[in-house]
Amino acid sequence: MTTPGEVFKEGDCLLVIDVQNDFCPGGALAIDDGDAVVPVMNRYIDAALKQNIPVYLSRDWHPSGHVSFTEAGGQWPPHCVQDTHGAQFHPDLKVPETAMVVTKGVRFDKDQNSAFDETGLAHKLNRDGIRRVVVGGLALDVCVQATVQDALSVGPCEFHRSRRAVAASLCAGYPRGAVPPGFEGPGNRHGCNQGRAFRQGPELGL
C-alpha cells in the first residue's frame, strides 16, 4: 500500500477540500462519517510538510442568504456561513501555519464548487511551478470532483498539458439521493454519486 510519503514528489502540492464542520457529522450539510477523512488528511499534511510540499486548504465561505441556499431558491440548506462555527475547519484537522487558504462560495450571484472557480488558484500554481495536484477532502461527489475536473482543464496552456490531478487518500461523498435532483454538479453529470464512496490507498489517477 502506498504511504502518504511515497505519493509526493517535487513539483506537487496538496489541496485539502472543504474539511469544515458543516460537512462533518452534526453539521448543517453533514456527510455520513465525513470526519473520517480527517486523520487520513492529517497524515498527508504531515508528509507534505516533511517534504516541503506546499499545502492548500479550500473552504466554502458563504455570505448569509447565499444564492445556493434553499431560502434563496437554491438547492442546499444554509451551510458554511461566514464567521460561523460551521464554516470553520474541523477542529482535529491539522492546519499548518504555512498553509494557504483558498476561499470560495463568496459570490452573491453563483455558487463555486471548485477551488479553481474564480479564485486565482490556477494562476498561483502555475506561477509557483506546481505540476501536479494531490486532492482529498469533502465532498467527493460535489466539490472534490469539481476541483479535480478544473485541475485538469483550467489555466494557461501549459497547465492543460502538464498538470495532473490525483484523488489521493480518502474522500467521502453524500449518499445516493442526498444530492438535490436538480443539482447539475459534477457528481450527477459523471456518475460519482455512489453512496459513501470512500477511496483510500494508492493514488487514483484521473
Distance between CA atoms of 137 and 40, rounded to whole angstroms? 9
Are 39 and 97 a contacting pair, CB within 8 Å?
A: no
CA distance to 75, 76, 108, 180, per residue, from 70 (Å): 5, 5, 14, 11
Residue 8 in grid coordinates: 509526493
Complete edge-to-edge strand list for the sheet that includes strand 164-172: 100-104, 55-60, 12-17, 132-138, 164-172, 204-205
Those residues with Cβ within 8 angstroms of residue 42's Cβ, 6 or more apart along the chain or in another chain: 92, 93, 94
CA distance 82 to 72: 16
pLDDT by residue for the chain (206 residues), tens only, comes to: 678 888 898 999 999 999 999 999 999 999 988 999 999 899 999 999 999 999 999 999 999 999 999 999 999 999 999 999 999 999 999 999 999 999 999 999 999 999 999 999 999 999 999 988 888 899 888 898 888 888 888 754 455 445 555 544 446 554 544 444 333 333 333 223 332 333 333 333 33
User: What pLDDT does 183 receive?
Assistant: 34
Residues catalogued as catalytic: 18, 104, 143
DSSP notation for 78-110:
S-SBTTSGGGSBPTTS---TTPEEEEES--SS-
16-49 burial: b if 16+ Cβ within 10 Å, else e: bbbbbbbbbeebbbbbeebbbbbebbbebbebbb
Whole-angstrom distance, CA of residue 169 vs CA of residue 44: 8
Q: What is the pLDDT of residue 67?
A: 95
What residues contact 95, with CB distance under 8 A and at least 6 apart? Answer: 57, 89
Domains of the chain and any CATH numbers = 4-205 (3.40.50.850)
Contact yes or no for 167/137 (Cβ under 8 A): no
Supply the pLDDT for residue 90. 98
What pLDDT, in 10s, does the model give residues 185-203? 333 332 233 323 333 333 3
